[in-house]
Amino acid sequence: MISAPQRPSSPSDRRGLLAALLAFIVAVAVFSAVALAATHADAFIVSARIAGSARAVEPVRVVEPAQDGWAAEPAGPGAPTRAVAAPPPNAKFDYQIGGAYQPPAGVQVVSRDRKAAPAGGVYTICYVNAFQVQPDELPWWQSHHEELLLKDANGRYVIDQDWGENLLDISTAAKRAAVAAVVNGWIDGCAANGFRAVEPDNLDSYDRSQGLLTRADAMAFVNLLATHAHAAGLAIGQKNTAELGTSGRDAGLDFAVVEECGQYSECGDYTAVYGNNVIDIEYTKQAFTKACRSHGATLSIVRRDRDVTVPGSGSYVYDAC
């Protein structure tokens, strides 16, 4: 049977077909866009979850190695760095690390042991024995961190014979980080108690280490302390060690507390690096007079008795340029 020929479509029919085709195309486009957006959203969520699970990397203060051959090491998490102010230069100073007492009239800067309270109304520096062990604290170190006490090849303690103090072992990055964890806790205590700066003593312990420590070890370690002190809002000073040149400044130190730079004609070595931000303690009348004549107009210079005793002790000595 032969079917009858189809009737040609009318203009209205053609318009209807065209509208249907356009609607279909639009629907396909919308569906594709929605699917693509969903895919991107899933990818974003996955990426966010991955990023959220990753541990943030602590920023490291990059310091170019100086002649000592050291470089900055990663510091642990800490508070954001706060404003840090070094002691006012050429201010009248008193060295009270052997015992706290009312500062003499006119004194603007004092250094006291970390276990003492800051002097009221005076810029106070917190003395910390950072590289060696106070004799009365040796049992604590033996009980908690025996592995951080420096020993020679025969397992004997390495001791600063002049003061009877064990040296701390900062010979590796891991040991430096472990010692810094303790010392930085003390620095936090200094900040919490209201000190303005920290004086880490025995920076030159490598000179008494029987060759087991190097200057580079000391610089890397003090850089950890400087980074932490600055984060706590404290300035930090170089203690002695004139031979460092600019290495102390490179490690983050802000000023210098030195003993007998007049006696040994070293004051200029420190001012070449820190300008007038140098505090000098002399222990003899002759050296004190010499230092005052050469640098008394620009630096904080005092004379103290060598045991830095308190007034009334019988051996107490204090004078300032």
CATH class of the 93-320 domain in this structure: alpha beta
Residue ranges, the chain, pLDDT below 50: 1-67, 78-79
In the chain, domain spans: 17-52, 93-320
Q: What was the pLDDT predicted at 262?
A: 98
Residue entry with tokens 């090849």: 153
Global pTM?
A: 0.78
Both structure tokens of 67: 């002649």
Contact 111, 96 (CB under 8 A): yes
**What pairs with residue 127 in β-bridges?**
113, 199
User: Which ranges of the chain does DSSP label H, i.e. alpha helix?
Assistant: 11-53, 138-144, 173-193, 215-231, 247-250, 267-274, 285-295
Q: What was the pLDDT predicted at 73?
A: 72
Q: What was the pLDDT predicted at 83?
A: 79
Q: What was the pLDDT predicted at 19?
A: 43
What are the φ/ψ torsions at residue 155 (nearest 5 degrees)?
80, 10
Q: What was the pLDDT predicted at 303?
A: 98
